[in-house]
Chain A
Amino acid sequence: MLKRNLWILFAVIALAILPLVIHHGGDAEFTGADGLAEAVITEIQPDYKPWASPLWEPPSGEIESLLFALQAAIGAGLVGFYFGRRTSPAKTMDPK
């Protein structure tokens, strides 16, 4: 199973790198799709004004990436904790 999982993981990494190879000439900006959708909205309805704005915005790109990293870290930590629990060998020591 380990071997098969490693191959699958390899495929996932390849899928993430492939776009960078295809567009290596700098012909793509790799901006977020959410932002592109915003641009299309403005194109379809140029007079649309967003009627609400976020209560709080990360003051800089660094802080935004900090919070994204935090989100991933919380998730990965918990997933790791779960599998750590499940794969731990039976307790060899007595509790007392």
Chain B
Amino acid sequence: MHIMEGYLPAAHAVGWCVVSAPFVIYGARRIVTLVREKPEVKLLMAASGAYVFVLSALKIPSVTGSCSHPTGTGLAASLFGPTVTTVLGTIVLLFQALLLAHGGLTTLGANVFSMAIVGPFVAYGLFKGLSGAGFSGAVAIFFAATLGDLATYVTTSLQLALAFPDPVSGLTGAAAKFLGIFAFTQVPLAISEGLLTVIVFNLLQRYSRGELNALNIFSAKA
């Protein structure tokens, strides 16, 4: 889902930065407040950020014959809310832009928007909605992580279509092309991310009751 350095027209690059910046700033303030009010969740927050580090480093083969990577943002979004995850995701994207030439500084705003804003918001909404509707924590986190991951790749496709509409088939034609690359490839990887996140969530339900309670995550009995 990384849009490569220089691969967005300047107006788009600036536009996405302007859109994303408030989320990063708000998220950073949320982290400061959260750590002050509930210092016991600090370590779990670091571990959730670390989970994003691990998953977004793993390029996994997909049935389409190409490779892509999960995002890992669903866990942090479900536990700490979407904007906290925006900050964690931005750190990862910066690391990859500066050290791996993966993504870039000019495309950082757009990449933050897809991986650290849209994905986490979708995941958070699904987690809250499904657990509120009475589904077990494991089911809720599975759909949150899977569809949050997929939403990130759909967003990247649409961002690219917006920047590079097809001369013949226009915006929809370009969107279809980019979705063909990103979204289909991502389906099995998104499911993998969902399953892995269920494992972590099962472990948390077993060993981290105190923190889950502090974060008001009332989960059905595992």
Give chain A's interface residues, CB within 8 Å of chain B: 1, 4-5, 8-9, 11-12, 15-16, 18-20, 22-23, 27-34, 36-38, 40-41, 44-45, 48, 50-58, 64, 67-69, 71-72, 74-79, 81-83, 85-87
Cα A38 to Cα B97 with chains together (Å): 16
Given contacts A11-B195, A55-B105, A76-B54, 20 further A-B contacts (CB under 8 A): A4-B202, A8-B196, A12-B195, A19-B188, A20-B61, A22-B63, A29-B65, A30-B61, A32-B68, A33-B1, A33-B185, A37-B182, A44-B174, A52-B6, A53-B5, A64-B101, A75-B55, A79-B47, A82-B44, A82-B47
Chain A residues with CB below 8 A from B31, complex form: none
Residue of A with least CB distance to B184: A33
**Cα(A39)–Cα(B139), bound, Å:** 38
| CB atoms of B105 and A52 under 8 A apart | yes
A53 to B177, CA, bound (A): 25
B47 to chain A, nearest CB (A): 4
Count how many pairs of residues, one from A and one from B, have CB atoms less than 8 Å apart in the complex: 176
Interface size class of B (residues with CB under 8 A): 35 or more
Report whether B203 and A15 are in contact in the complex, using a CB–CB cutoff of 8 Å.
no
Residues of B within 8 A of A86 (CB): 207-208
Which residues of B are found within 8 Å of A71, using beta-carbon distances? 53-54, 56-57, 92, 95-96, 100
A77–B5 Cα distance when bound, in Å, is 29
Find the B residue at minimum CB distance from A37: B181
How far apart are A25's CB and chain B's nearest CB, in angstroms? 11
Q: Which of A5, A15, A36 makes the CB contact (< 8 A) with B181? A: A36
Cβ–Cβ contact A12 & B196, under 8 A: yes
What are 14 A-B residue pairs whose CB atoms fall within 8 Å in the complex?
A12-B192, A12-B195, A12-B196, A34-B4, A41-B7, A44-B174, A54-B97, A56-B98, A56-B99, A64-B100, A74-B50, A76-B50, A86-B207, A87-B207
* Contact assessment for A82 and B160 in the assembled complex, using a CB-CB cutoff below 8 Å: no
